[in-house]
A and B are shown apart, each in its own frame.
Chain A
Amino acid sequence: MAPPSSDLKLLGSWASSYTHRVQLALRLKGLDFEYAEEDLAEKSPSLLLHNPVYEKVPVLLHRGRPVLESVIILHYLDETWPEVPLMPADPYDRALARFWCHFVDDKLGPAVGAVFASPSDGQAAAVEQVHENLRLVERELREGAFAGRRRFFGGDKIGVLDIVLGCGSYWLAVFEEVMEVKLVDPESFPLFHSWLRDFEEQEEVKAIIPAIDRLLDYARGVRQMMLGLSTRQQ
């Protein structure tokens, strides 16, 4: 079997949904790449060299040159390897995809993170914030720009918005269990729920997303640490 192309190398972290986005995109495009797992507690010289501004994963190295920030990497992949496009063809659809990708990173993602970081007695407000954001997505699916569309935001196949929203949405189920809260009730968010289920069933997605028990262990560990820190500060 031929070794992976040395042209593409991805610095990532196994539990990072941002890393998963890039891994999924590479897989969908049929691109070989070398993967290097970063220990975020002890960042490699390579990571610090290639991403001095943020010192974060993922970092995509193409012919040794770094491309940073997951959504920017997705655009780069699409523009460099236009076969199997991730972005929609129509300019307005592209604007919508960019808008909602930004919404995920700017609003929904942080809201979900806030649930996880919330103190035991402060969950309700954080959960409501997630619901508010999910309602906006659900509405868009039900009667807005994405109404009556096919299976995925990208059409019959997953596209950039599916990748960005999907890689990260698996944390919802993880946090639901660890925090004992309901985040995605199928009755309140039927379209989002069925989209997510379809997304998670894709072969490429199944290959990328870590096993749920690993994610649960990880989340429990981080949660313990957060609670431990906050009690020490009191």
Chain B
Amino acid sequence: MADQSKGVKLYGTSFNGHTTMVECALRLKGVAYEYVEEDRKNKSEALLKLNPVHKQVPVLVVDGKPIAESLIILQHIDDVWKDPPHLPEDPYKRAKVRFWVDFVNQKVVPIMHTVVTLKGDEQKTAADEFAGYLKTMEDGIREELWTGGPFVNGDNPGLLDVVMGSSYTWIKFIEAVAGVKLAKREKTPLLCSSMEAFGEHDAVKELMTPPEVLLQSRGNPGAKTTATSDD
């Protein structure tokens, strides 16, 4: 049973991948939290005070102390609420998980933005680059982390599952908007199956906004790249 004694508040924005990641992590850990919806175009005084460095969502406040940046928040959540663990016990495997989470941040997310804003051949090239990164991850995970699934973390979703799993709907959204295939089951079966399993997990199912709904709310983000960014 999660420790209910800490006051936990999450400042976020709807249809924002980074906010979704944090909500998923909290739900997976069974943490009770209050959610505050921020208007991206009109940020509250509270938010600006809590995150003066980046001035954006998500921000998690635990017992009055704010933490910003989604990946930092995810690690903090795992640090404070130990059960179920989102990282392996072995330090070497932990380093591998952190490496791939960082890889998603360094390589995968930026290319997702690029795919959406380009057209024609350039878009196809970006889509191929994305697929290449996914394949690199797939091979790394298979070799270094996979223990039979259904999640990268094993029986229960972990840090990498939260990051990739909550991005799946965005991947499908971009596929629909750009008319390109980004995640192919035959090329990256472990990633695809673990992302799908994540989307089906009882604790986070309702947080997974279907791509059609994202399409309605975001339209074609070809002109802007805020689809998955903190803003």
Contact = CB atoms under 8 A, between A and B. Distances in A.
Nearest to B53: A136
Contacts of A65: 92
B99 A75 contact: no
B91 A76 contact: yes
B92 A76 contact: yes
B76 A95 contact: yes
A91 B92 contact: no
Interface residues of B, number: 24
Contacts, number: 57
B2 to A, nearest CB: 15
A163 B106 CA distance: 22
A67 B72 contact: no
B75 A67 contact: no
Contacts of B92: 62, 65, 67, 76
B76 A75 contact: no
A69 interface: yes
Interface in A128-181: 136, 139
B75 A95 contact: yes
Interface string B18-49: 00000000000000000000000000000000
Given A53-B136, A68-B99, A91 B80 contact: yes
Interface residues of A, number: 23
A98 B67 CA distance: 10
Contacts of A95: 67, 72-73, 75-76, 79
Contact of A99 (B68, B94, B98, B136): B68
Question: Is chain A's interface secondary structure helix, strand, loop, or mixed overall?
Answer: helix
B102 A69 contact: yes
A103 interface: yes
Question: Is chain B's interface secondary structure helix, strand, loop, or mixed overall?
Answer: helix
A193 interface: no
Nearest to A100: B53
B213 interface: no
B95 A76 contact: yes
Given A76-B95, A91-B79, A102-B71, 20 more contacts: A53-B136, A53-B140, A65-B92, A67-B95, A68-B95, A68-B99, A69-B98, A73-B95, A75-B98, A76-B94, A79-B94, A91-B76, A91-B80, A92-B65, A94-B79, A95-B72, A98-B75, A98-B76, A99-B68, A99-B69
Interface of A: 53, 62, 65, 67-69, 72-73, 75-76, 79-80, 91-92, 94-96, 98-99, 102-103, 136, 139
Interface of B: 52-53, 62, 65, 67-69, 71-73, 75-76, 79-80, 91-92, 94-95, 98-99, 102-103, 136, 140
26 contacts: A53-B136, A65-B92, A68-B99, A69-B99, A69-B102, A72-B95, A72-B98, A72-B99, A72-B102, A73-B95, A75-B94, A75-B98, A76-B92, A76-B94, A91-B79, A91-B80, A92-B65, A92-B76, A94-B76, A94-B79, A95-B72, A95-B79, A96-B67, A99-B68, A102-B71, A136-B52
